[in-house]
Amino acid sequence: MNAVYDVPTLAERWACSIGTIRSLVASGELPSFKLGGKLVRIRADDVEKYECRNIASNDTAGSSPSSGTKTDDAGAIRSERRIAQRPKQRRAGSGLVGR
């Protein structure tokens, strides 16, 4: 039997959120199957294929030109989300008046 990942375990492996994994599954970028009609599982072979397509390795990152595939890694995705979710700055003068 082939090895499989559940969503939280794969999120931990890739150091990303469970939501990121679920989004990849929902978009079809990461093949998956349901166990018992509810539990989402991802085959280890599909994880490896996704990693090879989308995550640049340290060995080849600078030595070969891009073949046109995405090379975003989990860290870049998290950084983009942090930037997008920065809290709004308060306007000057929004504190208590008269003190």
Specify the pTM: 0.55
Q: Is residue 72 part of a domain?
A: no
Cα 66 to Cα 86: distance, rounded to the nearest angstrom: 31
For 33-70, what is each residue's pLDDT tens digit? 999 989 999 999 999 999 998 876 555 545 444 444 44
More confident residue, 96 or 47: 47
Mean pLDDT of 80-97: 52
Q: Is residue 76 part of a domain?
A: no
Instruction: Name the residue range of residue 40's domain.
Output: 1-57
Mean pLDDT of 17-38: 95
Q: Read off the CATH number of the domain in which 40 is found.
A: 1.10.1660
Q: Is residue 41 part of a domain?
A: yes
For residue 90, which amino acid is it? R
Q: Max alpha carbon distance in the chain (Å)?
A: 72
Q: Is residue 79 part of a domain?
A: no
pLDDT over 90 at 31, yes or no? yes
Cα 95 to Cα 45: distance, rounded to the nearest angstrom: 56
